[in-house]
Each structure stands twice: as structure tokens, then as C-alpha cells.
């Protein structure tokens, strides 16, 4: 059976490509998932995707990944800046994970500069648009299938 990456997208990312194209681009969430799937497939990996506007749904998907996935790529959306629970879930499952942001959060409002995840992530990619997901998938696969 193929190995598997859990791709997680947090609140409001279902609106990608529909609203605020000047900040988040014109690609849709479906485009993001297709790009992640293509990138993973080149290396023989599958992608399981979850997007939710509800923190508990994201936590449950992360817990389920503990025994069912090999690594996680996550854009936690605004939960990046607020959620100790997301941090605890990700450290609790002990899988390598990449934190991805479409925009350069460091060039935006002060409250977006703090992340509850970055110091426990394997790596962080900001400001590369949807290409950030491509690199993140490729790099987490390097980490789990060197």
C-alpha cells in the first residue's frame, strides 16, 4: 500500500480563489489539492485532504493520521495564531509536519507574526503561494522516505 500524506487546510481556505485574490491568489482549494496529489504521486505517495472551519474536525483528522499517515502538511489558517490545541495535536502524533502559508505572514499585521506551530514544525514555508504546498509535500517525503 502507498504511503500517505495528510494535507490539512484550516478555516476560510475553502474560499481560496473566490475572494481576496490580491492576497491569496486566484487558484482554488481544488487546485491546491490537485497540485499536492500530483507532487505526492510522483514519489508513490497518496494524499488525504481535510479542510474545515471547525477546530475539532481538524484535531480529529490529525489524531487519525497518527496510525494512518506518514507526515502532515498543514496550512492552519488563522488557527496558526491562536491554537494551542492544534500544536498539542501535532506534537502528540509525533509525525513530521510542514507549516505552509500562502501569504508572507511576516509582512502582514503583527498578530500574524506569531505562530503556535513554527517552533515544533519540521519546516515552515511562507509567501510562496500554492507552490509552497508543492515544495512542502516534496520535502516531507524526503524526510520520511529518504
Which residues make up the interface to ligand CA2 (CB under 6 A)? 12-13, 15-16, 19-20, 24, 75, 77-78, 80, 101-103, 105, 112
Known catalytic residue: 63? no
- Rounded to whole angstroms, the Cα distance separating 146 from 60 reads 28
Catalytic residue among 49, 54, 63, 101: 101
Q: Are 135 and 128 in contact (CB under 8 A)?
A: yes
Known catalytic residue: 116? no
CB of 64 to ligand CA2, least distance (A): 22
CB of 75 to ligand CA2, least distance (A): 5
**Nearest Cα to 90, choosing from 121, 115, 119, 113?**
121
CA–CA distances in Å: residue 87 to residues 16, 92, 132, 143, 144: 24, 8, 20, 20, 20
CB of 44 to ligand CA2, least distance (A): 28
Count of residues in the chain = 146
- Please give the positions annotated as active site: 24, 101
Amino acid at each position: 500500500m502507498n504511503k500517505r500524506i495528510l494535507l490539512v487546510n484550516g478555516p476560510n481556505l475553502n474560499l481560496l480563489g473566490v475572494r481576496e485574490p490580491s492576497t491569496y491568489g486566484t487558484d482554488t482549494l481544488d487546485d491546491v489539492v490537485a497540485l499536492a496529489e500530483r507532487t505526492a504521486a510522483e514519489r508513490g505517495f497518496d494524499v488525504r485532504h481535510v479542510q474545515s472551519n471547525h477546530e475539532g474536525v481538524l484535531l480529529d483528522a490529525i489524531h487519525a493520521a497518527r496510525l494512518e499517515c506518514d507526515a502532515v502538511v498543514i496550512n492552519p489558517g488563522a488557527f496558526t495564531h491562536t491554537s494551542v490545541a492544534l500544536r498539542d495535536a501535532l506534537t502528540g502524533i509525533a509525525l513530521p509536519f510542514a507549516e505552509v502559508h500562502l501569504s508572507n505572514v511576516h509582512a502582514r499585521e503583527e498578530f500574524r507574526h506569531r505562530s503556535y506551530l513554527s517552533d515544533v514544525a519540521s519546516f515552515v514555508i511562507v509567501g510562496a503561494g500554492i507552490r509552497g504546498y508543492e515544495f512542502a509535500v516534496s520535502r516531507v517525503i524526503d524526510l520520511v522516505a529518504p
